[in-house]
Amino acid sequence: MPISKETYNALEAVVGEKYISDDPAICEGYRSGPGGYEAGCGYERVMTTIPQIVILPRNTEEVQRIVRICNRYKVPYVPYSTGFYGPRSHCHVENELLIDLKRLNDYEIDEKHLYAVVGTGVIYSPFQEEAFKHGGYGIIGGGGAQASVIANLIGDGWSPLSNRVGLPHRRILGTELVLPDGELVRMGSLAVGDDPFWGDGPGPDLRGLLRGFTGLRGCLGIVTKMAVKLLPFQPERLEPTGIAPNTGLKLPEKRVKWINFQMPTKEAQVKGMLAIGHAEVGGAVTKVPLFWRALAKAECKEEFWDLWGKENEDTIKNFFILRVLLIGFTSEEQMEYDERVVTDIMTELGGIPRPTKPTDESWLKNADSAGMWLMTGSYMSVDYIIESMSQATVHGESYARVKKGYTPPLMPDYGDPGWFQSFEMGHQGYSEFLIYWDQDEDTSGVDQFYVDTSKMNIKERFYTSLLGPHQPMYLTGPKYGPNYHLFMLKVKDEFDPLWVCHPPVPLAHDEFVERAPWMKKMKDWESPKELPMPKW
């Protein structure tokens, strides 16, 4: 049912005329695709639409008032920070309200205790620059410096910089969450006072509810403010240099340095990660997939394919680069020590240092991530896991085997087994599998591969991150739990009995499988005839 004029007036009274619109051109600007993360495939085409109304609140109180109006008038809504995450963060039903949170862009830093309090509209690159100015640094997620800090931390929130503090929820401190009915929950130390310095608070840790493994994609409320832990950094400036597109941060060579090591085998690569973690040195320790190197060198997609076309299954199988970031957190002498430790480890393992640029283009400010789309125009990370190092480092090979059957439409990558790295000083291993395709081709294979990887994870007993809103919950839930889906739906029903908050998430992927004819053949699991949620 279209949102009524009465509802529009009520919403306008909250934000003022300037910050609400139902104009068709304005609303068209909020279309998910066709380009973007996880866009250019069936899920985006089948499941997303444009809003009927867009509203831009300024603070938590306005968000609460808007959400209460939505509950009163039964208006579905979706919270939206940057829109970068693709279809999952856009409208899924007709006559929906899109709550654009970009104006919640306040920022405050506590230099002494090293945390920053941010609103939903704050993205990583200014966050990181402010942290640098005050002696700290943050972990910019793999999604890039353009990701909302809050959205990334309640969704994913990791990168090679996670070597020291892997699991993102440990960086989430005091947080404000507007529940689907408009009630405000203050989490962590904010539950007992106004200082957001600590993430744990009285009662159960609600960060688990908020995040799960990779978040609930906005179906359990709206986070409007969060204190985020920073880590201590070294004091010298990372000077930006160059003119676009060739820009980078010049590293103060005695305090920050990347080194690429050519390892003789994969086994040596993994052992290197473990040993460096055990020695508790390094700011980042990661494998480098071969196509990233081609991407870094290419200025256009044609150049990328020139470079990539020279590779083959053998070059992939024999390419083992271990990239290490050394940071002299406390002193030059500490970095010298770290480098000697790493050199000793590499000598033992046969790792050979390769010439490495004295600049950072990627991780410290993560300016490069948008380049993921250069090669083919469409991209997504079809899965990521945080497991033990022994599991994470073989996970990608399972993906590569399944992927062969879906190439094309997926990009030919000669069996590349994806990316893995060390988290938490080797106590955890991280694996991510990225896929690329051209959205102008027949993309049904992309959607089918996505669900097929879930089945592969179940079969091979990998604890995959994308259990909830990313995969059909009636497929994954019974296998992981065995009642994960039922528990999730109980939580959803409890907090959002009307299902106004981002419907039909968390059952969106289940609905997609039912609606898309090319997905019928993938469905070999049981689900109710009617999915247990209200219809919009």
Partner 1 sequence: MPKDRFDTPKKPVALDVTDLSNFAYDMSRCIKCKGCYWVEHTYMPGVRFSTRCPSNVWNDFDAYGAFGKCRIGLAVLEGKLQWTPKLLEIIYADPLCGACDVGCKRNLDLEIELTLEALRIRAVKDGAGPMPAHKKVADNIASVHNHFGAPPANRKKWITKGIKVADKAETLYFAGCSASYRNPEIAQATARILNGSGTPFMMLSDERCCGNMVYSVGMIDQAREIAKTNIEMVRATGAGRLVTACAECYRTWKVDYPKMLDIPTSQLGFDVVHLVEYADEALIAGKLKLTKPQDTRMTYHDSCGISRLADPWTPWKGTRGWMGMVEPRLKRRRGTTGLYAQPRNLLGAIPGAQVVEMPRIRENAFCCAAGRGTKAAFPDLADSSAKLRLEEVREVGAEVLVSACPWCKNNFGQAVRENGDAVKVMDISEVILASM
CA–CA distances in Å: residue 526 to residues 273, 447, 488, 503: 41, 19, 17, 22
**Interface with partner 1 includes 358 (CB under 8 A)?**
no
Figure out which of the listed residues 49, 95, 247, 334 binds partner 1, where binding follows CB under 8 A: 247
Tell me whether strands 359-360 and 248-250 are parallel, antiparallel or unpaired: antiparallel
Element housing 344 (H / E): helix 332-349
- The answer to whether residue 407 forms part of the interface with partner 1 (CB under 8 A) is yes
**Taking a C-beta distance cutoff of 8 angstroms, is the pair 203, 159 a contact?**
no
Reading the block at residue 280, the tokens are 């508790």
Residue 530 dihedral angles phi and psi, to the nearest 5°: -110, 125
Is residue 400 within the footprint of partner 1 (CB under 8 A)? no
Peptide bond into 289 cis (omega under 30): no
The SS3 assignment for 422 reads: strand
Q: Is the peptide bond before 504 cis (omega within 30 degrees of 0)?
A: yes
User: By the 8 A CB rule, do 238 and 132 touch?
Assistant: yes
Query: Phi, psi at residue 438, to the nearest 5°?
Result: -105, 120
Residues contacting partner 1: total by CB under 8 A? 76
Q: Does 475 bind partner 1 (CB under 8 A)?
A: no
Q: Annotate each residue in 428-467 with x if it binds partner 1 (CB under 8 A) or - if it does not, as one string.
A: ----------xxxxx-------------------------
Q: In what order do the strands lie in the sheet with 419-423?
A: 352-354, 256-262, 321-327, 284-287, 419-423, 428-437, 378-387
Q: CB 45 → partner 1: shortest distance, Å? A: 12
With binding defined as CB under 8 A, does residue 376 bind partner 1?
A: yes
> Does 82 sit near partner 1 (CB under 8 A)?
yes
Shortest Cβ distance from residue 485 to partner 1 (Å)? 30
Stretch that binds partner 1, among 16-24, 390-398, 469-477, 522-530 (CB under 8 A): 16-24
Task: Please report how close the Cβ of residue 48 comes to partner 1 at its closest, in angstroms.
Answer: 12
Longest dimension (CA), the chain: 73
Q: For residue 14, give the amino acid letter.
A: V
> Nearest distance from residue 303's CB to partner 1, in Å?
8
Which residue carries 């300037």 as its tokens?
A: 18
Site for partner 1 in 125-144 (CB under 8 A): 125-130, 133, 144
CB nearer partner 1, residue 248 or residue 477: 248
- Binding status of residue 30 toward partner 1 by CB under 8 A: yes
Query: Should residue 481 be labelled a site residue for partner 1 when binding is judged by CB under 8 A?
Result: no
Q: Is 295 in contact with 371 (CB distance < 8 Å)?
A: yes
Q: Does 155 participate in binding partner 1 (rule CB under 8 A)?
A: no
Burial 281-309 (b: 16+ CB within 10 A, else e): bbbbbbbbbbbbbbbeebeeeeebbebbe
Amino acid occupying residue 318: N
Using the minimum distance from each CB to partner 1, give the nearer residue, 366 or 391: 366
Q: By CB under 8 A, which span of 31-39, 202-210, 454-462, 495-503 interacts with partner 1?
A: 31-39
Q: Which amino acid is at 480?
A: Y
Distance CA 48, CA 50 (A): 7
**CB 352 to partner 1: min, Å:** 29
Among 138, 160, 371, 418, binds partner 1 (CB under 8 A): 371
Stretch in the footprint of partner 1 (CB under 8 A) among 41-49, 261-269, 370-378, 460-468: 370-378
Residue 123 interacting with partner 1 (CB under 8 A): yes
Contacts of partner 1 in 95-114 (CB under 8 A):
100, 102-103, 105, 107
For partner 1, the closer of residues 80 and 474 by Cβ is 80
Query: Considering beta carbons, is residue 162 or 366 the nearer one to partner 1?
Result: 366
**Distance in Å, CB of 181 to partner 1, minimum:** 27
Q: Which is nearer to partner 1, 30 or 450 (CB)?
A: 30
Question: What residues between 286 and 325 interact with partner 1 by CB under 8 A?
Answer: 299-302, 305
Helices (H) and strands (E) in the chain, counts: 17, 21
Map the footprint of partner 1 across residues 207-246, applying CB under 8 A: 240, 242-246
